[in-house]
């Protein structure tokens, strides 16, 4: 026979078992689709190194949080340059920035070349020459003003024509215009291109990317190379000169930024006949009279620049430059270049009798 004490112990044990069962049911999460319990993740760290921000590193990446923002799909915002580089954007004037109507420049087209039959080309000499814009007569090549059609530097005109697709740049691996290059490759020849960086919000999270143009120092490009051909037409008895290509000349630099001596080379080439319509729409700076300005196409056709010869096909069976012929004397190179000019001039004059 059970005593009163035994009954009280049984009732207490039964009540404790029911309470424990209810607690177990409350602490066990259930799935949203039935009575199957959803496993509870074990958050216990087992010998894992903690990062400095209280999160577990991903793939052993040191202190990089496992939940780092994926920036590969973020929006890229272009920021235009506002300095004095060749990649900067020029704002057009919202009014006519002159007391006269400037419509003529939009309608200019270069004159067609006179056709020269192959059979009439009695004399042909190919010449390579360089224009040094540091000479006083060549300072218009470095005119640093900005107008509605952009920067007025000659190198800026070339780059703008390439970026807009008006002309094609060709690789400087050779000067025969064999390998076209992209506008980005033409920019990268001067160290240009774009840099992409992350933009952070107030909470320190990356919200978008910013792309900025790399600055190109325009005055660091001060030499241009011309490839041209002198032709005597026996039908008209006239010596013609036809420019074939233009190339900016740059130096090679070491990793510390020092220029390597005697490392000048063409960055890329543009085909001059393709460039003529573009050059006809840009005026050359005239410091004496702002109204009497010729176009760049007229400047090249009228030979209104100073240059020196670096190579020719006259007496050159090994196809060498003057620097290769006279590696230790710049004076001999200049004298030989003048000698080549005289030979071309004397050929035309010797055909006449007085």
Which pLDDT value is given to residue 17? 55
pLDDT digits (tens, 9 = 90+) for 123-137: 999 999 999 999 999
Which pLDDT value is given to residue 51? 43
Give the mean pLDDT of 165-181.
96
Q: Between residues 111 and 44, which one has the greater pLDDT? A: 111
Q: What is the CA radius of gyration of the chain?
A: 37
pLDDT digits (tens, 9 = 90+) for 271-290: 999 999 999 999 999 988 88
Highest average pLDDT, of 101-105, 213-217, 244-248, comes from 244-248
Range with the lowest mean pLDDT among 281-285, 294-298, 329-333, 350-354?
A: 350-354
Range with the lowest mean pLDDT among 39-43, 242-246, 254-258, 261-265?
A: 39-43
According to DSSP, the β-strands at 265-266 and 150-151 are unpaired
Q: Cα separations (Å) of 113 from 247, 282, 301?
A: 22, 20, 10
Q: Are 229 and 244 in contact (CB under 8 A)?
A: yes
Place of tokens 């120092």: 217
Sequence-separated (6 or more) residues with CB below 8 Å from residue 108: 280, 281, 295
Which pLDDT value is given to residue 3? 60
Highest average pLDDT, of 4-13, 105-114, 173-182, 200-209, comes from 173-182
pTM for this prediction: 0.72
Write the DSSP symbol of residue 153: S
Which pLDDT value is given to residue 175? 94
Which pLDDT value is given to residue 211? 77
Quote the tokens at residue 316.
């050159």
pLDDT digits (tens, 9 = 90+) for 64-107: 444 455 666 677 766 665 555 676 667 778 888 888 877 767 78
Q: Between residues 320 and 26, which one has the greater pLDDT? A: 320
Q: How many CA atoms lie within 13 A of 350 on its CB side?
A: 7
Using CB atoms within 10 Å of the CB of residue 307, give its burial: 0 to 12 exposed, 13 to 18 middle, 19+ buried: buried
Give the mean pLDDT of 297-317.
96
What is the spatial distance between Cα 271 and Cα 125, in angstroms, rounded to a whole number? 19
Q: Helix 154-163 crosses helix 272-279 at what angle (to 10 degrees)?
A: 110
Which pLDDT value is given to residue 245? 98
What DSSP string runs through 214-229?
PP--GGG--EEEEEEE
Angle, alpha carbons 146-249-105 (nearest 5°): 35
Averaged confidence pLDDT in the chain: 80
Q: Are 179 and 169 in contact (CB under 8 A)?
A: no
Q: Between residues 203 and 295, which one has the greater pLDDT? A: 295
Q: Are 192 and 216 in contact (CB under 8 A)?
A: yes
Q: Between residues 257 and 140, which one has the greater pLDDT? A: 140
Backbone angles phi, psi at 76, to 5 degrees: -105, 120
Backbone angles phi, psi at 132, to 5 degrees: -100, 110
Q: Are 183 and 169 in contact (CB under 8 A)?
A: yes
Among positive and negative, which fits the CA dihedral 56, 201, 69, 39? positive
Share of the chain above pLDDT 90, in %: 49
Q: Between residues 91 and 31, which one has the greater pLDDT? A: 91
What is the spatial distance between Cα 249 and Cα 263, in angstroms, rounded to a whole number? 10
What is the spatial distance between Cα 264 and Cα 312, in angstroms, rounded to a whole number? 18
């Amino acid at each position: 026979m059970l005593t009163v004490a035994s009954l009280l112990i049984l009732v207490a044990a039964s009540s404790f078992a029911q309470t424990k069962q209810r607690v177990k049911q409350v602490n066990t999460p259930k799935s949203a689709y039935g009575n199957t319990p959803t496993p509870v993740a074990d958050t216990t760290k087992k010998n894992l190194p903690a990062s400095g921000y209280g999160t577990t590193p991903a793939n052993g990446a040191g202190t990089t949080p496992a939940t780092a923002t994926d920036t590969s799909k973020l929006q890229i915002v272009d920021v235009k340059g506002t300095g004095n580089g060749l990649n900067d954007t020029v704002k057009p004037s919202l009014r006519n920035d002159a007391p006269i109507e400037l419509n003529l420049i939009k309608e200019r087209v270069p004159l067609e070349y006179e056709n020269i039959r192959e059979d009439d080309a009695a004399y042909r000499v190919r010449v390579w020459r360089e224009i040094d814009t540091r000479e006083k007569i060549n300072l218009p090549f470095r005119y640093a003003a900005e107008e509605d059609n952009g920067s007025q530097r000659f190198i800026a005109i070339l780059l703008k024509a390439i970026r807009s697709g008006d002309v094609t740049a060709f690789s400087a691996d050779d000067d025969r215009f064999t390998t076209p290059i992209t506008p980005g490759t033409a920019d990268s020849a001067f160290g240009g291109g774009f840099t992409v960086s992350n933009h952070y919000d107030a909470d320190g999270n990356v919200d978008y990317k910013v792309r900025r143009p790399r600055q190109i120092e325009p005055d660091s490009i001060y030499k241009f190379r011309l490839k041209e051909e002198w032709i005597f037409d026996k039908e008209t008895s006239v010596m013609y000169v036809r420019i074939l290509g233009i190339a900016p000349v740059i130096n090679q630099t070491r990793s510390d930024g020092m220029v390597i001596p005697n490392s000048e080379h063409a960055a890329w080439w543009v085909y001059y006949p393709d460039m003529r319509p573009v050059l006809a729409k840009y005026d050359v700076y005239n410091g004496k009279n702002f109204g009497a300005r010729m176009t760049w196409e007229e400047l090249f056709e009228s030979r209104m620049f100073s240059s020196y010869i670096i190579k020719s096909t006259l007496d050159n069976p090994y196809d060498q430059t003057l620097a290769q012929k006279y590696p230790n004397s710049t004076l001999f190179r200049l004298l030989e270049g003048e000698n080549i000019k005289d030979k071309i001039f004397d050929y035309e004059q010797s055909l006449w009798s007085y």
